[in-house]
């Protein structure tokens, strides 16, 4: 349960104790190469520079993060747009306020010799997911609808976790396909000798993925804290890009359970594979722009998500973009000197 997980904060950063503490809900059981920002911001003192304490709690799935936000167990959390839209439809006043990944990171994976070639081939199949409330689960259901399937009748969804247990479920044919984030598959295959065939429906590629989210009331009352968190996150993004190896070492030191692999070398390779594939999502599959604007949404991209979720029956009609996102803090997120960060990372 979320409350149990919330009792085990992994780490504190910053001065704290003065109303400037942020409990941060993470939609994973441990950080990975896809979110080096957390460990970097802690190790390099970016949260402390901003005058805030950050207490991360690892809840395992975006759905649990959204629930924790609703019950004020966490103040900021990671979640995907589909979960935010569904929560909004149910009356939760939640906002995406920092766009973290600009292209979709959900992938479908099968064994190399699997007869499954497309979403349509999943009729009557068992789909393994990290958690039944996870973002990829919702995307898989939408993809099934797009392919003319009824996700409730034509597919069976089973929670198999991530990493070795998920891979084992696929290899033992307990499930026919895995649906998860790109970085989870990168960790499974990098340096392990394991092979998976990945595919993704073309029409989801231009849907952005993870966001930093918060309840609107908290965001309105604590905009300075949210801006400070986002600015530290942006600084850490610049640092990680400039020196991913050092950033991964920071993550391993602070979060030993983030190591995936038989030894340190394998763990580094797995984390680097995660980092590399997620960087592609940060920049839409291309190189970083000369001047990166961190955290910004386009209204068009938010509307595209609403249209997608409505068309594929994840939500009903009527949700408006300004109900689910804000760019009000973007200027503050970017109020720092990235060249100074890059120089520090390379020194």
Q: Structure tokens of 55?
A: 């207490």
pLDDT in tens, 284-330: 544 555 567 889 998 998 998 999 889 878 899 999 999 999 999 99
> Over the chain, what is the mean pLDDT?
85
- One domain for residues 83 and 12: yes
pLDDT at 281: 60
- One domain for residues 321 and 212: yes
pLDDT at 12: 53
Which of 167, 186, 204 terminates a domain? The answer is 204
Does residue 7 carry a pLDDT above 50? no
> Does the residue 307 lie in any domain?
yes
- One domain for residues 230 and 312: yes
> Does the residue 290 lie in any domain?
yes
> Does the residue 266 lie in any domain?
no
Split into its structural domains, the chain has a count of: 2
> Does the residue 279 lie in any domain?
no
The answer to whether 190 and 184 have CB atoms below 8 angstroms apart is no
> What CATH number is given to the structural domain containing 124?
3.40.190.10
* Confidence tier at 10 by pLDDT (50, 70, 90): very low
> Does the residue 23 lie in any domain?
yes
- One domain for residues 184 and 214: no
Does residue 333 carry a pLDDT above 70? yes
- One domain for residues 173 and 141: yes
* Confidence tier at 107 by pLDDT (50, 70, 90): confident
- One domain for residues 240 and 318: yes
Mean pLDDT for 53-74 is: 93
Which of 139, 169, 204 terminates a domain? The answer is 204
pLDDT in tens, 195-216: 888 887 766 767 888 899 999 9
**Domain extent at residue 154:** 106-204
- One domain for residues 228 and 88: yes
- One domain for residues 227 and 145: no
Q: What is the rounded radius of gyration, in angstroms, for the C-alpha atoms of the chain? A: 19
pLDDT in tens, 251-277: 999 998 888 766 788 788 878 777 776
> Does the residue 236 lie in any domain?
yes
* Confidence tier at 19 by pLDDT (50, 70, 90): low
- One domain for residues 39 and 133: no
Look at residues 182, 190, 187 and name the one whose alpha carbon lies nearest to residue 105: 182
Residue 301: which region, alpha, beta or left (left: phi > 0; alpha: psi -120 to 50)?
alpha
pLDDT in tens, 109-168: 899 999 998 888 999 999 999 888 776 887 888 888 888 899 889 999 999 987 778 888
User: Any residues with CB less than 8 A from the CB of 200 and at least 6 apart, and which?
Assistant: 104, 106, 107, 108
Percent of the chain residues past pLDDT 70, beyond the cut = 87
- One domain for residues 238 and 322: yes
> Does the residue 278 lie in any domain?
no
**CA–CA distances in Å: residue 81 to residues 84, 185, 190, 248, 330:** 5, 21, 28, 27, 18
- One domain for residues 303 and 246: yes
pTM: 0.77
> Does the residue 269 lie in any domain?
no
- One domain for residues 76 and 117: no
């Amino acid at each position: 349960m979320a409350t149990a997980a919330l009792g085990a904060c992994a780490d504190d950063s910053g001065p704290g104790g003065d109303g400037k503490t942020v409990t941060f809900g993470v939609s994973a059981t441990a950080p990975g190469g896809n979110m080096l920002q957390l460990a970097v911001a802690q190790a390099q003192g970016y949260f402390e520079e901003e005058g805030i304490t950050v207490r991360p709690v690892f809840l395992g799935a975006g759905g649990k993060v959204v629930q924790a936000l609703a019950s004020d167990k966490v103040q900021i959390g990671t979640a995907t747009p589909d979960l935010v839209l569904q929560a909004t439809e149910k009356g939760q006043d939640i906002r995406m306020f920092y766009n973290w990944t600009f292209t979709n990171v959900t992938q479908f994976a099968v064994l190399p010799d699997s007869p499954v070639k497309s979403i349509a081939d999943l009729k009557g199949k068992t789909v393994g997911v990290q958690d039944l409330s996870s973002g990829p689960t919702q995307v898989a259901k939408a993809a099934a609808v797009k392919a003319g399937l009824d996700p409730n009748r034509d597919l069976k969804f089973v929670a198999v976790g991530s990493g070795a247990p998920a891979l084992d479920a696929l290899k033992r044919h307990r499930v026919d396909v895995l649906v998860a984030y790109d970085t989870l598959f990168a960790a499974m295959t990098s340096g392990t000798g394991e092979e998976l065939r990945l595919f993704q429906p073309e029409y989801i590629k231009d849907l952005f993925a993870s966001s930093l989210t918060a309840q609107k009331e908290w965001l309105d009352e604590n905009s300075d804290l949210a801006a400070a968190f986002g600015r530290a996150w942006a600084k850490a993004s610049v640092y990680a890009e400039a020196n991913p190896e050092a950033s991964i070492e920071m993550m391993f030191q602070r979060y030993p359970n983030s190591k995936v692999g038989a030894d340190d070398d394998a763990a580094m390779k797995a984390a680097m594979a995660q980092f590399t594939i997620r960087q592609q999502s940060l920049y839409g599959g291309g190189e970083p722009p000369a001047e990166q604007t961190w955290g910004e949404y386009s209204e068009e991209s938010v509307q595209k998500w609403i249209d997608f979720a409505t068309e594929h029956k994840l939500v009903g009609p009527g949700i408006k973009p300004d109900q689910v996102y804000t760019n009000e803090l973007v200027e503050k997120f970017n109020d720092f000197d990235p060249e100074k960060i890059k120089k520090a990372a390379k020194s």
